[in-house]
């Protein structure tokens, strides 16, 4: 006869424990960790490339992708150390994967660890990786209705970046709708409009990173 056994255990508990441990360890070492989340092609890697070029902040990058190490190679070309995590079909990163990636990085001279999550606007928002802030990266061509369609990410984000704003020459975009919805979902999120290719907003973004780093130390 089968017998019923109560388990009452969170499936995420083990991973949440790892995330909290990572956050504590990085805090002790004075390192800021930022988790970039956005759709495929939103411009996450390009944003990182321009962020890393010409900054005093010493960085390391963890690249999450389903397959290939292309993004890590792009980052390595800027002279910044990068580790690639391949999820082999998995649609989001989890803390235990980040833990392994951190072990591969030389962190003693690093101020900021950037994580580029798997391109996906949906579930990466649900997983705590031990980061200090999640950053929502949404590009102008995706359209201004994304915050309300994918509210969870925008609710969780410490900052919302609207990228590729140089494309507004060619593509109409209702800014009031976009930023209005972001504010309603998350009044505390820092809001920045960026063009990684033309340079708009990059100063503001780097200043935000410096402020976050300062608050951690």
Ligand X SMILES: Nc1nc2c(ncn2[C@@H]2O[C@H](COP(=O)(O)OP(=O)(O)OP(=O)(O)O)[C@@H](O)[C@H]2O)c(=O)[nH]1
- CA gap 85, 91 in Å, rounded: 12
- Backbone torsions φ then ψ of 44, nearest 5 degrees: -65, -50
Q: Is 211 exposed, middle or buried (0-12, 13-18, 19+ CB in 10 A)?
A: exposed
Assess contact for 210 and 21: CB atoms under 8 A.
Answer: no
Among 67, 91, 198, 207, binds Zn ion (CB under 5 A): 91
Sign of the dihedral through C-alpha 150, 152, 175, 166: negative
User: CA–CA distance from 14 to each of 61, 97, 124 (Å)?
Assistant: 24, 13, 17
Kindly identify the residues of this chain, within the stretch 140-159, that bind other proteins according to CB under 8 A: 151-152, 155
Among 185, 194, 196, 202, binds other proteins (CB under 8 A): 185
Compute the C-alpha angle 58/100/54, nearest 5°.
Answer: 15
Of residues 12 and 66, the one with the C-beta less far from ligand X? 66
Stretch that binds other proteins, among 19-27, 40-48, 101-109, 182-190 (CB under 8 A): 182-190
How many chain residues are in contact with other proteins, going by CB under 8 A? 31
State the binding partner of 51 from other proteins, Mg ion, Zn ion, none, CB within 5 to 8 A by kind. none
Of residues 11 and 106, the one with the C-beta less far from other proteins? 11
Among 44, 92, 134, 146, binds Zn ion (CB under 5 A): 92
Q: Which residues pair with 61 in a beta bridge?
A: 82, 114
Of residues 43 and 158, the one with the C-beta less far from ligand X? 43
- Show the site string, 101-140: x = touches Zn ion by CB under 5 A, - = not: ----------------------x-----------------
Q: Report helix, strand or coil for 51.
A: helix
Of residues 33 and 189, the one with the C-beta less far from other proteins? 189
Query: Which residue's entry shows tokens 């990684």?
Result: 196
| Site residues for Mg ion per CB under 5 A | 44-45, 71
Which residues of this protein are in contact with Zn ion, per CB under 5 A?
A: 91-92, 123
Catalog residues that contact other proteins under the rule CB under 8 A.
Answer: 1-12, 14-15, 89-92, 94, 122-123, 126, 151-152, 155, 183-188
């Amino acid at each position: 006869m089968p017998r019923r056994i109560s388990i009452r255990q969170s499936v995420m508990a083990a991973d949440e424990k790892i995330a909290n441990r990572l956050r504590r360890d990085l805090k002790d070492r004075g390192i800021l960790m930022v988790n970039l989340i956005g759709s495929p092609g939103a411009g996450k890697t390009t944003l990182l490339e321009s962020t890393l070029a010409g900054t005093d902040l010493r960085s390391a990058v963890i690249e999450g992708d389903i397959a290939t190490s292309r993004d890590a190679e792009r980052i390595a070309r800027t002279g910044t150390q990068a580790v690639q995590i391949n999820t082999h079909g998995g649609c989001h990163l989890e803390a235990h994967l980040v833990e392994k990636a951190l072990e591969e990085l030389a962190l003693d001279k690093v101020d900021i660890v950037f994580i580029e999550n798997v391109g996906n606007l949906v579930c990466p928002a649900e997983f705590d990786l031990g980061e200090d802030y999640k950053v929502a990266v949404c590009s102008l061509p995706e359209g201004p209705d994304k915050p309300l369609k994918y509210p969870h990410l925008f609710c969780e984000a410490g900052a919302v970046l609207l990228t590729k704003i140089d494309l507004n020459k060619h593509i109409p975009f209702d800014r009031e709708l976009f930023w209005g919805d972001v504010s309603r979902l998350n009044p505390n999120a820092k809001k920045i409009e960026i063009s990684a290719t033309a340079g708009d907003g990059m100063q503001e973004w780097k200043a935000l990173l410096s402020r976050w780093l300062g608050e951690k130390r």
